[in-house]
Amino acid sequence: MDALLIVDFQVDFCPGGALAVADGDRIAHPVNALARRVGLVVATRDWHPPDHGSFAGARVDAELWDGADPPAVWPVHCVQDTPGAQLHPALDAELVDVVVDKGLDPNSQGYSAFQHTGLATALRARGVTHLYVAGLATDYCVLNSVLDALAAGFAVTVVTDAVRGVEVSPGDSARALRRMQEAGARLMDSAAIAGG
């Protein structure tokens, strides 16, 4: 069965939000169109505690941090139960079957939809073998979610017109797409998927 994984299409990642991705809100149309065509729709949310270690000014205990790399420093964003952490209103919430919260551990970056969420097991239990992946941001949470989905044995198609990147450095999104493709993901735009 096919499923759509919508990564972090949240208020704080869209224009006007605390960590806005340029044109992040423009993924709504292809996301909603694809959500109407698949058997299961899963939306993730960054759902950070107020003291998350990736926030600028946070104090991080290197011995507790989950991962070899030090935390990337971001503005405070997607704090649990705040307006910025909610799914973007342009997403048709009635099409979403499951919401998965991630990034709850203050000592872990929490980029991937599969990190400490049980998502792979839940998808397998529903018979999902292939994921269409859309969302924000191409070069961080989408990238890590796709790589983990592939490692977990799912076939993955990245919906190229339904992702947008942070672009901390110019070209980060293009590099992320290449990396996903090299790892085994297919890259397709929503028109090609609809026509196929």
The predicted structure's pLDDT at residue 55: 84
The predicted structure's pLDDT at residue 61: 64
Contact 149, 61 (CB under 8 A): no
* Rounded CA Rg of the chain: 16
Catalytic residue list contains 8: yes
Q: Which residues of 8-27 are buried (b: 16+ CB within 10 A; e: fewer)?
A: bbbbbbbeebbbbbeebbbb
Catalytic residue among 14, 25, 141, 148: 141
The predicted structure's pLDDT at residue 52: 87
User: 155: which strand partners?
Assistant: 130
The predicted structure's pLDDT at residue 109: 84
* Residue 59: count of CB within 10 angstroms of its CB: 6
Catalytic residue among 12, 102, 139, 148: 102
- Distance separating alpha carbons of residues 135 and 156, to the nearest angstrom: 14
The predicted structure's pLDDT at residue 53: 81
The predicted structure's pLDDT at residue 167: 93
The predicted structure's pLDDT at residue 43: 98
Q: Which residues of the chain have pLDDT under 70?
A: 60-72, 196
Residue at token pair 């704080």? 12
pTM assigned to the model: 0.94
Q: How far apart are the first and last CA of the chain?
A: 16
Ordered domains of the chain (ranges, CATH):
2-195 (3.40.50.850)
